[in-house]
Each structure stands twice: as C-alpha cells, then as structure tokens.
Structure 1
Amino acid sequence: MSSVSSDQPGILFGHRPFLFYLGARSLSEYSYQIATVAVGWQIYELTGSAFQLGMVGLVQFIPSAVLMFAAGHAADSYDRQRVAQICQICEGLIASCLAWGTFAGWLTAPEIFGALTLLGITAAFEGPAGSALLPGVAPEGMLQKATAISSGAFQAAAISGPALGGVAYAIAPGAPYMLMAIFSLSAGVLNGMIKPQSAPLPKELPTSDDLFAGVSFVRHNPAILGTISLDLFAVLLGGATALLPIYAHDILQTGPWGLGVLRAAPAVGALLMTAALARHAITRRVGLRMFQAVIVFGLATVAFALSHLVWLSILALAIMGAADMVSVVIRTSLVQLATPDAMRGRVGAVNFLFINASNQLGQFESGITAALLGAMPAAVLGGVGTVAVALLWMKLFPSLRNVERLE
C-alpha cells in the first residue's frame, strides 16, 4: 500500500511529472475546445446545414476507428510521452494551416473536413498514449484524486476554451486557429519535460494477438465492458451539445460569443463537481453512483432541449457537465486500476474509441436526426434514450452496478 495519504491532494501539485502532464493535457484540451467553436460556427456559416454539422463528428471518428489497434500498440511499445508530443506538434501545424486558409480567404468546407480528418488521426494516437501516462506520473495511491484533478483541469479548459474561441472568432475567423496552434505546440513542449516513473516499455513487432489484446481484455471484464459501453450509448444518444450552433443561431438567437458560453456551461458544472470529488472521493457504491449520474445527464439533456431561455439552457448544460464528471472519474479510475500497465495503451485505445464514438458519432447522429426531425425533437429523443440505456445497463451488467469501491 502507498504511504501517501488520500487526504493530501496538495501532494499532487508538488509532483513535477504530474504537473507537466497536467499542463500538457490541459493545453491540448484548450486547443480542442477552441476548435469545437471555430469549426462548428464556420461550417454552419458556410453551409447552413445540420447534416454538415454532424459530418464534423464523423470525419474525426473514422480515423480513430481505423487506427485504434495500431494506436494502442504504439502506446504500449514506445515512449508514451514522445507519441503524445509528436501528435501535439502535428496538431499545431494543422491548426496553423487552418489559420492561414481562413485569413487568406481560400478555406472551404471540404478543406476543413480534410483538416479534421488529419486531427482525427493525431487524436487517435495521442489519446491512448496520454491516458496511459497518468498512472506513471501520479504519486502512488492517488490515482483517483489525480484523475479528478486532471479531469478538472480539462473542464477548466473547456470553460474558458469555448468562450475564448467564440470571442476570437468574433474578432477574426482565423484567430481561433492561431490560438489552437499556440496551445498545441506549447503542449508538445511540456510533454517533452515529463519524466515518467515507470520503466521504459520494450519495443516489439506486433502480432495479431498483441493488437487485439485490448479488445479481449475488455470483453472478458464485464465491469469494464459495461462502463465504457454505457458511456458509448448514453452519450451517443444524448449528444445535444453537437446541436449548440443551431441552438445558438436559431433558437436562442445568440452569436458566436453566445455559442462559446453555451459550450463552456457543461464544463462549469463539471469543474464544480471536480472540486468536490478531489476532496471527497467516492468511496461507496461507486457502480450505482455512475448509473445515477448518467440518468441525471439524460434528464438534464431533455430540459436543455425544451428550453427557449438562455439562462435555463446554461443551467441544464451545467447539470449535464456535473453528472458527466461523476461518470468520467469512476469510469477512468475503474479502467486504469483494473488494467496492467503493460496493457494500458491497448485497453486505453479501446476506451478512447468508445469515447470518440460517443462524442463524435453522437455528433453525427444528432446532426442526422436534427436534419430529419428538427433540432429540438432530436435533442429530446436523445435525452430520453440516455435514461433508457442507463436503466437497461443496470440490468445487463449487475457486476458493474454492484461495484462497491475503487481499489
């Protein structure tokens, strides 16, 4: 057992490997959040199409699905911090091209989709490598608190990132992409300063068993399978945030700055929840708490979908973020603690694919449904579906529902 006391989260902020990791991942998240506002608004302005908004998610998801097994093996066979660093530098260069094209006036929707495809490729490799780094840079015995603080830093970026992106876009459409480039390249610098505590992993030529080991591990662990598939289907159905450009433009009638505020609202709720979880870890009935959080997420999605008031929409989005944070901390801690270090990259790749599928395919699903039914019916249907999935998964995965503690 670790000698580190679980009531001393301040130890994490004095631990340099964790601080460098936190900074790098936060800056990378800043870049992503700025992109969600800039790309979403620019695509909707260029096309006026809910279907095209949905395509933003699809073109990012496809590379993750295709490259999942290679990305997981890379995270388990090579220096994880270097893999993440290379990806972040590439993301900075792609953002620079988007800025150039926007300022010069030649950037079109197909070219934006091409850039998003490249970003999807880098994200496919960065996600598993970055996630697998966390247990190696956190002090022993403090993974759940490190996960909560790391997630909280992401949410802080998710609060200010969209607002910053919205303000920058209002100043000049190319300005958000300049900020993306700065944040991504800075993240790469910080990643190069991380000194992981774990020993270097051996490099080896992958066999088919190596590549698919993560899938096999998840399939034979019902609690892990249940938790990541719950996130997949719940967020896949409840992806109302993909419709925020339509809500901001047509329903709530705000501009790009208003879109940034709406984008930031879930992160405000998540950050408040993170502050509570960093001090008071969930110690009992963690499986049930996760299901309850997903149900609250679905109900808040319905409230947002029906709202015509900006303040009520912001409140509903904040509740969605707080509920989602409970699920994120439990899911991440459960997966990391149950996975051997030598397989964390490959299992993380499966988890990352499920997360991407829920977020990006959810964006595609929401765009298609909104194009067919309208934005409001699509969002209501998604929230109701999220609640239904949570109730069904409670019956399908009793081992997950009965998880008492994260150990």
Structure 2
Amino acid sequence: MKKNDPYEALRYREFNLFLLMRFAMVFAWSMQFVIIEWEVYSLTKDPLSLGIIGLMEIIPAVGMALFAGHVVDQKEKKSLLVKCILAFSVVSLGLFLITVPSITKDLSLQTILYVVYGLVFLGGLVRAFISPTIFSLLSLVVPKKAYPNASTWSSSIWQMAAMFGPAIAGFAISLIGVHWSMCLVLGFSLFALLVLTKIERKPIMNPKIGEPIFQSLAEGVKFVFKNKTILGAISLDMIAVLFGGAMALLPIFAQDILKVGSEGFGILRAAPAVGSIITMILSAYISLNRKAGMKLLTAIFMFGVCIIVFGLSTIFWVSVLAMFFSGVFDGVSVVIRNTILQLHTPDNMRGRVASVNSIFVGSSNELGAFESGLTAKLMGTVTAVVFGGTMTLITVAFTGIVSPSFRNLDLEKDVEALQNGD
C-alpha cells in the first residue's frame, strides 16, 4: 500500500486558494446566521422565531436544490461560484442595512422581521447553488489520486469555519454590536470573492451538455438512491443533524438557562469547533477509512449522547464539554461522509449528487433549527434537546441493525485503488 502523505493535496497551489476561499465563505455564512438568530431572539424572545429563520432558508434551499445541481453540472464552476458569492454579498449588505439603528428606529418590529426573513429566504436561494458548485470545484483543483486527502482537508476547513464563524459572532456581538458584526460578514464574503479570482477557469466535465432538465434531474436522484453507500451516509447524517442539533437553541441556553450572556454564547459556539478541528487535523494523519461504516455509526451515536448531556446540564463547564465532544464526534462523521461522496460520485454528476446531499444534510441544519424551535415551543427547551438526542440514538441503533452492509463498510480498498490509478 502507498505510504500516506497527510499533506498531499496541500502541495497544489489552487487547492490552497480553494481552502482559503471556502473558509472565508463558510465563516461569513455561519457567522451571519448566528448574528441574525441572536438579533431576532433578542427582539422577540420567542423560540419559534428561531425556527422561522431556519424555515425561511430551507424552503428555497431544498426547493431549488435539484435544479441547481443540474445547472452546476452544465456550467463552468468558477464563473458560477463568482455569481453565487456576489449574490450572497448583496444579501449580507441588506442585513447590514436592516441592523443600522438610524434605519430601524422608525420601523415596526413586524417590518424588521419581515425584511430579515425575506433576506434569509434570498440567502437560501443562493445556498442552493453555492454548495454543489463548491463540491464540484474541489474535484477540479486536485488530481484524482489526491481526492481522499483533499476531502479530509476540505472537510476540516469547512468544519473549522462553520464552528468558528458562530463563535466569533458571539464575541463580536458583545464587542462591536450586531450592526458592525454584519459588516464583518460582508468583508469576509468580499475577501472570498477576491481569492476565487486567483483560480483558473475549469473545463466542464459533463458530456451531456444541453441534456433536458427533467431527464438530468431524474438521473441524479436515481444514482443516489441506487448507491446504497451514499444514501446510507447522507440519510444517517441528516437524521443526526435534524434531531440532534441543539445549536439553534443556544441563544436560549445562554440567555435564559445558563445565564452566561453573549460571551458565554460565544464559548458554547466555539466548543464544538475546537473538538471538530482536533478530530479533522488528526484524520489527515490517522486514516478513518478502515471499518468506516462502524466508525460512522459510533460517531453519530456518541454525538447524540453529547446532545442529551448538554440538554440536561445546568452547569456551564459541563455544557461546554458536551459541546466540545459533540464536535469531536461530528468531525469524524463529516470526514467519512465527504470521503464517501468524493470516492463514489462520477465527475459528470457531482453537482446533482451534491444537491441531493444538500437536501438531505446541508438543509437539515435549517430544518433542524425549525424542528428545535417548534419542539422548544411545544415541550420546553430542555425537553426538546433531550428528545432530539434520543431520536438520534434510536436512528443509529436501527440503522446498525437493519443494514449490516453499511455497518461493515470499509473504504480502504477504494482509496488504495484510487492511489494506484485503478
């Protein structure tokens, strides 16, 4: 077997630019989402309003996902991503303006909320395109033999940005306020656009340019549902994120349960980041490919346990530890799932497969936010989090019992074949 090179993908200049661009973009997006969550809950003190934010993003993200995947497979990736980032910057500018005190002082609470929800909805439209575009561009900035290593580093950067964005948002709200925090988001999105201009345009890998849209969409969906490995990985992760996510309710825990304010909110958001980053950096040196199915099941099960502990805790440091270890186990899940997607997806279908993945997993963050907000409204915040964690445990146990092929999944041979050029 070829000796593992933990820095293989990093030896390619455009991949490093890709990582920098992806970090800035995900950092801006995740930071923006948390700032809006904080501001809306501060205005309304209603947990359902947090759920509505998630719902406003998931409706367009899911509704347009398959169409977006078709477009991505038909278009040049860099140019399409430039348009996506420009559109996101426009949304960020709108949210920046709606948080200007001199603008909002004469507006009713209802008007402010409608504008925020409308801008979040537009952001969901952009998200439908940006996720499959980034996934497809990754495979064009490194050779195939470097896919597994590139996937690990890309997942690490994504997780780092997705966790540190919200954490920095918490501290920024405390230090410079909501308005200037949104200005920081806009700055990061423009920086991502600048970095992207340094990457060359890429060839279109799809031999079926001009294929009828419904035929193209059907082919993409059929591929995912016929590939049991991909379907199992994204379905399992979807359930974990949908029911096990407590992130949307963190403003309530920080303000009303743990009573630690925006600084404590920032620490709680940072804790999973630290855990995820440690896991993902280690995964570049220690392969997770052997017995990947069992490792994925175990990681998501332990993630559910951490969510239950967090929900029951009334002690700040216990809550921080629970969030830290949820990040550790989530990091394992992300690396394995993204490796599966990179190894098992043909080049000409990456946009459509990534779009289906975004429906199952990416958008489940926002659907999970709505589920968390709704269940918190109906059964109380603590009960809602414990319920979600318990549902995650049940799902993992059920999957492990009824799907022995997934439980016994091993990616080692797939990686070896790719490295040997087979």
TM-score, normalised to structure 1, is 0.95
Q: What is aligned with 1:346? A: 352
Partners of 1:403 and 1:268 lie apart in 2 by 28
Partners of 1:197 and 1:80 lie apart in 2 by 7
Aligned letter for 2:135? S
Offset, 1:151: 1.8
Deviates more, 1:207-216 or 1:285-294: 207-216
Confirm whether residue 327 of structure 1 aligns to residue 342 of structure 2.
no
Offset, 1:323: 0.6
Confirm whether residue 256 of structure 1 aligns to residue 262 of structure 2.
yes
Partners of 1:360 and 1:17 lie apart in 2 by 31
Partners of 1:397 and 1:183 lie apart in 2 by 43
Correspondent of 1:242 among 237, 242, 248:
248
Offset, 1:201: 4.3
Deviates more, 1:169-178 or 1:364-373: 169-178
Q: What is aligned with 1:51? A: 48
CA contact (8 A) 1:82 1:192 kept: no
Partners of 1:156 and 1:331 lie apart in 2 by 16
CA contact (8 A) 2:98 2:116 kept: no
Q: What is aligned with 1:92? A: 89
Which consecutive residues of structure 1, in runs of 5 or more, have no partner in the other structure?
none
CA contact (8 A) 1:148 1:277 kept: yes
Deviates more, 1:340-349 or 1:31-40: 31-40
Confirm whether residue 111 of structure 1 aligns to residue 115 of structure 2.
yes
CA contact (8 A) 1:75 1:128 kept: yes
Confirm whether residue 131 of structure 1 aligns to residue 131 of structure 2.
no
Note closer, same or farther for the CA distance 1:191–1:265 as it changes in structure 2 (3 Å cut). Answer: same
Offset, 1:82: 1.8
Q: What is aligned with 2:419? A: none
Note closer, same or farther for the CA distance 1:79–1:198 as it changes in structure 2 (3 Å cut). Answer: closer
Fraction of identical pairs, as percent:
37
Which consecutive residues of structure 2, in runs of 5 or more, have no partner in the other structure?
415-422
Q: What is aligned with 1:297? A: 303
Offset, 1:74: 1.2
Match runs of 1:309-324 below 5 Å: 309-324=315-330
Partners of 2:117 and 2:270 lie apart in 1 by 24
Note closer, same or farther for the CA distance 1:198–1:329 as it changes in structure 2 (3 Å cut). Answer: farther
SS in 2 for 1:331: helix
SS in 1 for 2:140: helix
Partners of 1:140 and 1:395 lie apart in 2 by 34
Offset, 1:374: 0.7
Q: What is aligned with 1:208? A: 214
Partners of 1:159 and 1:386 lie apart in 2 by 21
Q: What is aligned with 2:21? A: 24
Q: What do residues 292-329 of structure 1 show as CA deviations (whole Å, max 9, x unaligned)?
A: 00100000000110111111111111111111111111
Offset, 1:199: 5.2
Correspondent of 1:194 among 194, 199, 202:
199
Q: What is aligned with 1:165? A: 169
Match runs of 1:40-79 below 5 Å: 40-79=37-76
Partners of 1:296 and 1:400 lie apart in 2 by 18
Offset, 1:183: 0.9
CA contact (8 A) 2:310 2:323 kept: yes
SS in 2 for 1:174: helix
CA contact (8 A) 1:267 1:321 kept: yes
Deviates more, 1:10-19 or 1:217-226: 10-19
Deviates more, 1:193-202 or 1:372-381: 193-202
Confirm whether residue 182 of structure 1 aligns to residue 179 of structure 2.
no
Aligned length: 404
Partners of 1:158 and 1:70 lie apart in 2 by 25
Aligned letter for 2:405? S
Deviates more, 1:219-228 or 1:138-147: 138-147
CA contact (8 A) 2:40 2:50 kept: yes
Confirm whether residue 153 of structure 1 aligns to residue 157 of structure 2.
yes
SS in 1 for 2:145: coil
Q: What is aligned with 2:144? A: 140
Offset, 1:27: 0.4
CA contact (8 A) 1:17 1:196 kept: no
Q: What do residues 242-261 of structure 1 show as CA deviations (whole Å, max 9, x unaligned)?
A: 11010011011122232222
CA contact (8 A) 2:56 2:120 kept: yes
Q: What is aligned with 2:284? A: 278
CA contact (8 A) 1:133 1:196 kept: no
Correspondent of 1:10 among 7, 16, 22:
7
Note closer, same or farther for the CA distance 1:76–1:243 as it changes in structure 2 (3 Å cut). Answer: same
Offset, 1:395: 2.7
Offset, 1:181: 0.8
CA contact (8 A) 2:306 2:323 kept: yes
Offset, 1:184: 1.0
Q: What do residues 367-407 of structure 1 show as CA deviations (whole Å, max 9, x unaligned)?
A: 10000111100000111110100111123332221111251
Instruction: Please tell me the root mean square deviation across aligned C-alpha atoms, in Å.
Output: 1.8
Confirm whether residue 33 of structure 1 aligns to residue 30 of structure 2.
yes
Offset, 1:198: 5.6
Q: What do residues 62-116 of structure 1 show as CA deviations (whole Å, max 9, x unaligned)?
A: 0111101111011111011222221111111211121122113427111111110
Q: What is aligned with 2:417? A: none
Deviates more, 1:196-205 or 1:76-85: 196-205
Deviates more, 1:172-181 or 1:195-204: 195-204
Aligned letter for 1:188? L
Offset, 1:200: 5.2
Q: What is aligned with 2:275? A: 269
